[in-house]
Each structure stands twice: as C-alpha cells, then as structure tokens.
Copies of this chain bind each other. A is one copy, B any other.
Amino acid sequence: MQPLDHFWKIHSISLMDDVTQDAEPPRDFEALRSKILARHDAMPKRLAQVARHALDHPDRMALSTVAELAEAAGVQPSTLVRFAQSLGYSGFSELQSVFRAQLRDRWPDYRERLARVKDESGAEPARILDRFIDTAARSVADLGRTIIPGEFDAASALLARAAHVYILGQRRAFPVASYLAYALGKLDFPAILLDNIGSMADVQAGRIGPADTLIAISFNPYTPSTIDLVRFAAGRGAAIIAITDSVFSPVSAEARVRLEVIEADLGAFRSLSATMALAMALAIASAEVRDAG
C-alpha cells in the first residue's frame, strides 16, 4: 500500500498547491509537451506566456540562456525558473535538458516506432538489440545531413564514366568494400575488389590509371596499407572517392570526392548500417547516371 498511498498524498498536495509543485517532471519531450498544453489554461498570466513561448520556440529553449529567453518571451528571468519549478523540475536547467535531448535526438516518423520498441524490451540480450536498432537507425537518418549532395553527385558521375572501378577497404571497412564489389558487379560495372589476398593488393592495383576510379573506404584506426595504396593510386592519376568517418582521415587528403559517414557509436562499437546504405545508394545512383547519359 505504500506506493499507492504515496501517490495519493502527492496528488492531493498537487491539487492544493495548484500548479506549483509536482512529483514527477516529464523526462521526454512528448510528455512535457502534453503536460504544458494541459496546464496552459490554468496557468498564471506570465507562466502561460512562458509556456507558449516554450512550445513555439523549442529550439531556443534548448540553446538560449535564461536571460535571453526572458527577454524574448517578455518576462523576467525568474519567471522562467518558476515555470520550470511549476512543472516539477528543480530549476530551469533541468527543464532545459529535456529540450536539449529533444534537439539532439529528434528525427521524423521513426520516433514513435522506436519508442514502442523501447517499451517492449524484455530480456537482457534483446535489450542490447534494441539499443543497436536505435543507434543504427539514428546513424542512417543522419546520413541525410552529413552527406553533401554535391559530393554524392560527383561520386556518382566519377563512377559512371570510370574505365575501371577499384574498391579498397580493409578490416572493419572490408564488408563495405565487398558489398560494393558485389553490387557494382551486378550492375555491370567493371569493378575490381582489392581484397589483398596473399598481400597482393599492390599487384591487383598495378594497372590503375587516370581513366580509373578508386573507392577507398577507411575508418579510424586507419589501416596503413590502405593509405599507401590510395597514395599510389593518386600518384598514377586515378580519381579517388573516399568514404570515411572523419574528414581528417588520411585518405581524405588524396581524394577527389569525400563522403563522410558519422556512425553513432554505442560504447566502443560502431555499426556499419549507415555506411552500407550509402554504399548501396552510391552503386545504384551511379548506374542511373551512366544509363541516363
């Protein structure tokens, strides 16, 4: 009976103190939003003013200081603090963290789906899966922001008119390389996978030339032999398309076109989901460019 009793006690206090105190402030944005909406009409004038401003400009709520927001909303700084406290937070900062989390994590359509996935999480290993799904989905969605359309177009054009397409990726990047080799081969591109079997990558790439394009996939920590081979290819006049996780990759320096993929990481591990999506898109876009022109 303890918990229930506790609940009712809190509830009655909450009614007595009107909207001044609350036991459990919302931790996610949607809950916060509905709570503000529900209370808005019962709020004192200035607090209502803040409430309105908060929902109208969530970005500013996440990024601005109390003073700036107070000015923008036409109230005193202290009003912001009281607003936060009236929702049950300890202060403005705690409220703001909810807006910030929202700004970091928001992405369209999939939010609801993922929330549902989260709720249903049961046993231990399955929870790990859920977290990976979450991370991978975010990485994929982020692709749209990190890839510069012009660069992607340029990469497709380079591939479409290449005499040969050489593909290089070692260790963690190898799965991507092998997939590209498969997809490009299927699409009838002259694709050559530099798999370094028998340490013969240099031999495999021996005849690379100015009419050719090399797709180099490389992630931190960068494999030295990948960098060497990229320099070799660049020296022979081949165009380089770099797929990396950072613009500071040594491979980027030599590249004609740079495609940066930021995979969200979970602990020490990074998925390849976003990179695979990019690889596939690149293969098909190149085929379309080639067949159109």
Interface residues of A (CB under 8 A from B): 37, 40, 51-52, 55-56, 59, 62-63, 100, 103-104, 106-111, 113-114, 116-117, 120, 122-126, 128-133, 135-138, 140-141, 143-145, 147, 149-150, 152-153, 156-157, 171-172, 174-176, 178-179, 182-183, 197, 245-248, 262, 267, 269, 271-274, 276-278, 280-282, 284-286, 288-289, 292
Contact = CB atoms under 8 A, between A and B. Distances in A.
B123 A110 contact: no
Given A129-B144, A133-B141, A175-B175, 6 more contacts: A129-B152, A132-B277, A136-B140, A136-B276, A136-B277, A171-B182
Contacts of A133: 140-141, 143-144, 277, 281
Given A63-B104, A145-B110, A129 B278 contact: yes
B174 A284 contact: no
Contacts of A248: 37, 40, 51-52, 55-56
B128 A147 contact: no
27 contacts: A37-B247, A55-B246, A56-B245, A56-B248, A56-B262, A103-B103, A107-B110, A108-B110, A109-B145, A110-B144, A114-B141, A122-B149, A125-B157, A126-B152, A126-B153, A129-B278, A133-B143, A136-B280, A137-B140, A137-B141, A140-B140, A171-B182, A172-B182, A183-B269, A267-B284, A269-B280, A273-B277
